[in-house]
Structure 1
Amino acid sequence: MKNNLFPIVKEGWKYIGFSLLAFVLFSILDIDLLQIVAFILILFFITVFRNPERETPIFQENSLLSPVDGIITSIEELDNEEYAYKIEIDGSYLNVAVLRAPLTSSIENIDLKKGARLSYSDTLFEKLNEYSEIIFKDKNANTVKVIHRLKQSFDNISISASVSQHILQGSRYGVMVNGVTTICLPRNFRLNVNLGNDLKACETLIGYFSKK
């Protein structure tokens, strides 16, 4: 996967372009109110689709970093043979929308399904909303499942990675504007975060895998 090093991710170019075109048109027509609205939209889309450079901190081997920006809203134990913990991270329009690989690994599976854009608080949120499920597996056979699910967003989830691709920790692999990310972790994982923690993609340590 080629990392997008532009300050704005390509998914945002069309929105900024249309807003800029509208701004120029309303300026020519001398419609002040709509001109202001178009200018505000330009600033909004630049903020939403910003693509800052981040340096991945050096942690010990078997570390797992956050794939998204956001706040931890839930940490649950699972009664599951494959996964023991589930972490939910709530992102907003103010967070950077770029998705980054939580660990150096191969991508085992990608499942992307279109759907609704219901509120996070809606009882049908998990069943109906658009989501992408990605399974990462490292060289020690540690498996992590990451589910990105949209809230009330104007844009689709974009995944630029592919199945069987080897990806480095911290590498960009997609974009999600205003969504919730769920991370499912195996029993040999040691958590290093707490409820309410504010996370930064590829900078915040989620925890470590212990030897199986």
Structure 2
Amino acid sequence: MRIHREGYLIILIATLLLAGINILCALFLPILQPWLGLLSVGFWGLIVQFFRNPKRVVPTMGEGIIYAPADGQVVVIEEAEETEYFKEKRLQVSIFMSPLNVHVNRAAIGGTVQYAEYHPGKYLVAWHPKSSTENERTTVVIKNAKVEILLRQIAGAVARRIRYYVKPGQTLEQGQEFGFIKFGSRVDLFLPLDAEVKVSIGQKVKGNVDVIAVC
């Protein structure tokens, strides 16, 4: 299992802390050590699985094929006013990522980054209607010859560490990693109104695997 680089330091700190706690418990409260050891292994395993980074290959590349940028559950499919970049109505598809999902964010299309901006903000629960405009978030716009889409990483009540690795003018391959959100979050896609949506509310999707829409 590959581990994402965002997890290296956290996993190291957790390993040292848990090892230290278990050593102290073994010295001073040995009767509790077996139970603490089991709990520690379980907690350590949860942290490691959160930062897993599975290798994903896009099944069929295409300028008009829009893949899921993240693993999670589709919670919104609706027309919405996009006020930051497009400043017009777009088709919004939102994916909620639980702490158990892979949290790598991937380019839904290949193309050139037109816009990339970080916004500090609140930490409302990720499914809150206003989280898309009021929470800490980043906005990344990618354009190719066929379509221009907006991807928005949104922090939640638990997720308070958004990372994005792109800048305007940069070229991304379809499926290439562009960011990571720590500990539960949401990703919004803003698509052309005539995009043909291929998912439904409540559907679970995987980044680079499931097609969100076709233009």
* Match for residue 168 of structure 1 among 158, 169, 173: 173
Counterpart-to-counterpart distance in 1, 2:43 and 2:59:
34
Q: 1:98 corresponds to which residue? A: 104
Equivalent residue, structure 1, for 2:156: 151
8 Å contact kept, 2:132–2:188: no
Q: CA deviation at 1:47?
A: 0.8
Q: Distance in 2 between the 1:68 and 1:175 partners?
A: 9
Alignment of 1:1-212 (within 5 A): 7-29=2-24, 30=26, 32=33, 35-58=37-60, 60-78=62-80, 82-120=88-126, 122=128, 125-140=131-146, 142-177=147-182, 178-209=184-215
AA matched with 2:138: S
User: Normalization by structure 2: what TM-score?
Assistant: 0.84
Deviation at 1:187, TM superposition (A): 2.8
Contact 1:20 1:38 in 2 (8 A): no
Return 25-34 or 187-196, whichever deviates more: 25-34
SS in structure 2 at match of 1:78:
strand
Change (3 A) 1:160 1:123: closer
TM-score by length of 1: 0.85
Task: Find the aligned partners of 2:127 and 2:113 in 1 and give their Cα distance.
Answer: 30
Contact 2:74 2:95 in 1 (8 A): yes
Contact residue 73 and residue 96 of structure 2 kept, 8 A: yes
Alignment partner of 1:184: what SS?
A: strand
- In the alignment, the residues of structure 1 paired with residue 153 and residue 79 of structure 2 have an alpha-carbon distance, to the nearest angstrom, of 19
**Corresponding letter in the other structure for 1:205:** V
Shift of 1:16: 0.8
Return the offset for 1:43: 0.8
- Match of residue 3 from structure 1: none
Gaps of 5+ in 2: none
Deviation readout 1:149-207 (Å, 9 max, x if unpaired) = 11122540111122211000111111113111111111342211221211110110112
Unaligned runs of 5+ in 1: 1-5
Conservation of the 8 A alpha-carbon contact between 2:50 and 2:102: yes
Q: Structure 2 CA distance, aligned partners of 1:124 and 1:135? A: 20
- Count of matched residue positions in the alignment of Structure 1 and Structure 2: 203
Decide whether the 8 Å contact of 2:111 with 2:172 is kept in 1: yes
2:103–2:181: 8 Å Cα contact kept in structure 1? Answer: yes
**Percent identity (aligned):** 23
Q: How far apart, in 1, do the equivalents of 2:70 and 2:213 lie?
A: 15
Contact 1:22 1:38 in 2 (8 A): no
Give yes or no for contact 1:78–1:85 (8 Å, CA) kept in 2: yes
